[in-house]
Amino acid sequence: MRHVITLSLLLYLLPAHSRAAETASDIIRKVDGNQVFSTETFKAKMVIAKDKRTLTKTFYGYGQKQDMKSFMEFTNPEDKGVKYLKLDDELWIYFPDADDVMKISGHMLRQGMMGSDISYEDMLENDSIEEKYDSRLLEDKQVDGRECYVVELQAKKPDVTYDKQVIVVDKVWYIPLEIELYARGGRLLKTMKQSEVQKLGERFVPMRITIRDMRRRNSQTVVTFEEIAFDGKVPAKVFTKGYLKR
């Protein structure tokens, strides 16, 4: 009897991922859950490197998860006053020099925001991973000494930006540390790396994101969050087209 009790205690004390293997769906639900928030406020810097040229842009913004709204305003001198507004699956940009608001649609969605490796299509991603993709586990790997799951995601429908993704998920943080994004024909389109993870409240947040568009030569975009906060009050007026021209 003593041996049975000891074995039961040892099993109880082992980490959860050792006691019961997690399925791909379990992992994706936790990844989605780590990104759940009511509101978001942020201040960030974006460095775009192309060949030997480097552009640095700064911006701040707000997000509202439930209604899928977000607002961004650039503050660096070259782009000061340029604003973006996303309402669900629609995106507008305001150019202060022309005092004009333009809706971004059609082929323009594939262009890089401010010449970066982040497309406007990427900005419009709204749904959870589980809603859009079927998932399966691949062989585990380590990233910078951290144990990670590797999950392959295959699109359920043809109308998604990326037909397949391979994401490398930290086993403790449930944050994708590496992401590969593929076209329907199997071509690797983009890679993303998330790092400098901080714990904010009960949530783990990557403060640095590095994006490479594999269709461009010698191109890389690094976004670094200088400030970020969740679930606080945000000004509702910023989520209106009228506010763009204020």
User: What CATH number should be reported for the domain holding residue 144?
Assistant: 2.50.20.10
The CA–CA distances, whole Å, from 118 to 47, 110, 190 equal 12, 9, 9
Q: What is the mean pLDDT of residues 104-116?
A: 91
pLDDT digits (tens, 9 = 90+) for 131-166: 899 999 999 999 999 999 999 999 998 888 999 999
Q: From 143, 119, 106, select the one nearest 213 (Cα to Cα).
A: 119
Confidence bin at 37 (pLDDT 50/70/90)? confident
Q: What is the mean pLDDT of residues 47-55?
A: 93
Question: Is residue 66 domain-resident?
Answer: yes
Q: How far apart are CA 50 and CA 218, in angstroms?
A: 6
pLDDT at 18: 44
pLDDT at 171: 96
Question: Is residue 1 domain-resident?
Answer: no
Confidence bin at 127 (pLDDT 50/70/90)? low
Distance spanning both ends of the chain, measured CA to CA: 75
Question: Is residue 10 domain-resident?
Answer: no
The CA–CA distances, whole Å, from 27 to 31, 33, 173, 192, 202 equal 6, 10, 11, 19, 17
Question: Is residue 3 domain-resident?
Answer: no
Q: How far apart are CA 151 and CA 137, in angstroms?
A: 5
SS3 132: helix
SS3 218: coil
Residues 6 and 181 sit within 8 Å (Cβ to Cβ): no
Look at the chain and report how many structural domains it folds into: 1
Phi and psi at residue 109, to the nearest 5°: -65, -20
Residue at token pair 């079927």:
134
Residues 88 and 126 sit within 8 Å (Cβ to Cβ): yes
Q: Count Cβ neighbours within 10 Å for each residue of 133-158 and write b for 16 or more, e otherwise.
A: bebebeeeeebeeeebbbbbbebeee
Question: Is residue 5 domain-resident?
Answer: no
pLDDT digits (tens, 9 = 90+) for 157-192: 888 899 999 999 999 999 999 999 999 999 999 999
Question: Is residue 212 domain-resident?
Answer: yes
pLDDT at 162: 95
Q: How far apart are CA 171 and CA 149, in angstroms?
A: 6
SS3 243: helix
Residue at token pair 């990427």:
122
With a cut of 70, say whether residue 9 has pLDDT above it: no
SS3 105: coil
With a cut of 90, say whether residue 40 has pLDDT above it: yes
Q: From 125, 182, 132, select the one nearest 156 (Cα to Cα).
A: 132
The distance of Cα 222 from the centroid of its chain, to the nearest Å, equals 13
pLDDT at 126: 66
Find residue 176's DSSP bridge partners.
169
Domain range for 201 is: 21-244
Confidence bin at 78 (pLDDT 50/70/90)? very high
Question: Is residue 12 domain-resident?
Answer: no
**How many Cα neighbours within 13 Å face the side chain of 25?**
2
Question: Is residue 136 domain-resident?
Answer: yes
Mean pLDDT in the chain? 89
Q: From 219, 186, 193, 190, select the one nearest 207 (Cα to Cα).
A: 193
